[in-house]
Structure 1
Amino acid sequence: MSDARHVLVLPDRGAAEEAAQELGERFRLDEEPQLVRDALAGEDDAEDAQWLLVLRDEDGRLDARELDEFAQEWEGWREEP
């Protein structure tokens, strides 16, 4: 079993929180995605941040293309490992 993770980058906290809930429902996740604020370099304003959703996928059942499409629905993207 690998310790695979997927990271989705989203433009703001609201989108990230909504996407986290939708991810759980659509992909039937065993656990909630981890929500992480990623401040952009040199930015002090809390609004100038990206939000990351970190998904554990130890059994490799999540499809990268489906996650790419999902992130795009929220104006975000999936980071390549």
Structure 2
Amino acid sequence: MSEVRHVLVLPDRDAAEEAAEVLAERFGITEEPRIVRDALAGEDDAEDAQWLVLLRDTEERLDAGQLDAFAGEWEGWREEP
């Protein structure tokens, strides 16, 4: 079984945490998504960081287009890992 991953890029920690909570309700995700701070190259300021929500989709149930639209609700996007 292949392990499909989805990466949602969000503008701040609050958006990432809120999106991670809503993911379970909307998409029926049972595994807790990982939230990771991704500092932009050469920047130490927290304001210059993006937040990533990492999802495993071992059963390949999640639709990439729906996840992209979902991330857009928080002014983010889905990125290919």
TM-score, structure 1 normalization = 0.96
- Describe how 1:1-81 pairs up with structure 2 within 5 A: 1-81=1-81
Between Structure 1 and Structure 2, how many residues are aligned? 81
CA separation in 2, counterparts of 1:46 and 1:73?
Answer: 22
Query: What is the distance in 2 between the residues matched to 1:11 and 1:40?
Result: 12
Report the Cα offset of residue 71 of structure 1: 0.5
Instruction: Could you tell me which runs of 5 or more consecutive residues in structure 2 were left unpaired when the two chains were aligned.
Output: none
Runs of 4+ in 1 over 3 A off after TM superposition: none
> Could you say what the CA RMSD is over the residues aligned between the two structures, in angstroms?
0.7
1:68 & 1:45 partners in 2: Cα distance? 27
- How much has 1:80 moved relative to structure 2? 1.7
- Classify the secondary structure of the residue corresponding to 2:55: strand
Unaligned segments of structure 1, at least 5 residues: none
Q: Tell me the percent identity.
A: 75
Instruction: Please give the alpha-carbon distance, in whole angstroms, between the structure 2 residues aligned to 1:42 and 1:58.
Output: 34
Shift of 1:47: 2.0
